[in-house]
Structures are given as C-alpha cells and as structure tokens.
Structure 1
Amino acid sequence: MNRFLFVIADFLSRPPGFYVLIAAMIACTAMVPFGLTNVITYALSVAAIVITGVVLIQGYRDTAAIHAKLDEIIVALKEARNNVVGLEHAEPEEIRAHLARLELEAAAADQEAEHEGVAGSDTLDGIQRGLSKASPAAAKRNEVRRQRRAQKR
C-alpha cells in the first residue's frame, strides 16, 4: 500500500498529475448544468483529501531525505557528536531539551571567543580550537588547516 501511495503522490506532485487534477475539476464544473451537484461536491472533496495526502507524503519524503543526508554528514565528521543522529525520532520534550543544551553551549562558545578576542575571519579558528579540545586528531587536522590558510595569505 505504501508503494502505491508513494507512486500516486509522486505522479500528482509533478505537472502532469496537476494537469489531471485540473482536468477533473473542469469536468466536474461541466457537469453542474446536468444537476450532478452531489457528485461534483463528492469529487471535489475527494480531490481535496488527495491533494492534502500528496502534500503530506511529499513532505515526509523530503524530510526523511534531509534527515538521512544530515545524519550522513554528522557521522562523517569525526568532531561532531553522534548523539544527534536520529534525534528526529525522539519525543518533542527531548528535542527541546537537546536544543536548549546546544544553545547554551553556543552562547558559552561565543563568550569564550569574545574573551579570547576571536572575531571576524578568526571565528573559524576559534571554533576549530574548541573542537581540538575534544580530540588530539582533530587538533592536528585543525593545525594543518591553519598553517595552509596562513601560507595562502
């Protein structure tokens, strides 16, 4: 059943599917003079439900794809914390709590950067120094990156 719904949603979310819905609406409007208002009302109600379903299914697919891509990036970055992978499946309270922790950490990092005098283009270096505290390998990579940027200037 899911496969069928995804195929229908995919078709209806593209221009040919939209044209089919427009043609169906025109056909319903053409039936009004024949006294088929109940049929027209029913058909338009079903069309509205189908369109709503298409929007929801396409939104689900887009969101799932974005989460998969972000999870791939998080896993690929050695410095990133992997505990955020799959956070979209958590309860809303857990997500809000995690977001609050991240905002506190970001505010603390901003204050630390201001305290160290990191500003402008040096902000990236400040972030990398913060990440370097997490792992020696990250520290080495970041040092190499800093040296390369310095050579380019």
Structure 2
Amino acid sequence: MDRLFTAIASRIAAFAGQPASFIIALSVILIWGVTGPLFGYSDTWQLVINTATTIVTFLMVFLIQNSQNRDAAAIQAKLDELIRALEGARAEFVGIEHLTDTQVEEIRRKLEEEVAAAPPGRRPTETVDRLLSRR
C-alpha cells in the first residue's frame, strides 16, 4: 500500500508542479466564470466551484505533505551519511531531528557561538562578506 500511495502521490505532485496543471486550473476557473450568466450566478453554480476547490485543496495538502516528508527524510539520510563518512565529523549530530524544537534550537545556538569564537579568517561572516564582495 505504501509503494502504491508513494507512486501515485509522486506522480500527482510532479504534475501539480508543472505549468500544464496551472493552465488546466486556470481554464476551469475561466470556464466556470464564463458560465455564470448561463446559470444565473445561482447558488448551485457557486457551490460547484466551492466544493471542487475544497476537495482538491484538501487532497493536495496530504500529497504535498507526503512529498515534503519524503524529501526531508531523504535529505536527512544523506546528511547523516555525510556525517558518518567524514573523518572528524561529530557523529552525535546523527538523528538530532528527533529532538524537541527547544533542544535543536539550543544546539544551533551553541554551534553559532562556537563558530563565532573561531580564529580570524575562519569566521563565516568574513567568508560571506568575501563572497558578496565578488559581485
């Protein structure tokens, strides 16, 4: 079931991000708008577009969330592999995505303090400034 859902979700998410899907959605809205006078701008006419857009939005939330979760997990696995493979990397960082937001924020703050205390020439602000001055 997971593979089937992943395959379907991936295809729909890929299609939803294409210009063709935007053109289709825009066309549906334009056709709906043009048919307004034909149906006398009735409550049913309005209900059709409201119901359709609500259903599409509801389903797309789950597909987008699934796609983001899958992408985040893949990136996390790649980062964990880099940490594991690099000599001198701190293996304690593998799996920190499972900590609480407060714990992750504390780790981030301490890392920034550690970097700020780095010797001159190794500070990220100097590197960033050098890169920005290359324009």
Q: TM-score by structure 1 length?
A: 0.57
Whole-Å separation in 1 of the counterparts to 2:70 and 2:29? 27
Q: Does 1:90 align with 2:99?
A: yes
What's 2:10 paired with?
6
TM-aligned CA distance change 1:31 to 1:82, over 3 Å? farther
1:64-103 mapped onto 2 (5 Å cutoff): 64-103=73-112
1:1-153 mapped onto 2 (5 Å cutoff): 2-3=5-6, 4-33=8-37, 34=39, 35=42, 36-53=45-62, 55-108=64-117, 110=118, 113=119, 119-120=120-121, 123=122
RMSD, aligned CA: 2.8
Whole-Å separation in 1 of the counterparts to 2:62 and 2:31? 22
How far is the alpha carbon of 1:101 from its aligned partner? Answer: 2.8
How far is the alpha carbon of 1:10 from its aligned partner? Answer: 2.0
How far is the alpha carbon of 1:107 from its aligned partner? Answer: 3.3
Structure 2 counterpart of 1:29, which letter?
G
Unaligned runs of 5+ in 2: 124-135
How far is the alpha carbon of 1:17 from its aligned partner? Answer: 2.5
Whole-Å separation in 1 of the counterparts to 2:116 and 2:93? 19
**Does structure 2 conserve the Cα–Cα contact (< 8 Å) formed by 1:32 and 1:40?**
no
Whole-Å separation in 1 of the counterparts to 2:46 and 2:91? 57
Residue deviations 1:76-120 (CA, integer Å, cap 9, x gap): 211111121222222212212222332333234x2xx2xxxxx33
- Whose radius of gyration is greater, 1 or 2? 1
Whole-Å separation in 2 of the counterparts to 1:89 and 1:24? 43
TM-aligned CA distance change 1:54 to 1:70, over 3 Å? same
How far is the alpha carbon of 1:73 from its aligned partner? Answer: 1.9
Q: Identity over aligned residues, as a percent?
A: 32
TM-aligned CA distance change 1:46 to 1:104, over 3 Å? same
What is the total number of aligned residue pairs between the two structures? 114
TM-aligned CA distance change 1:103 to 1:65, over 3 Å? same
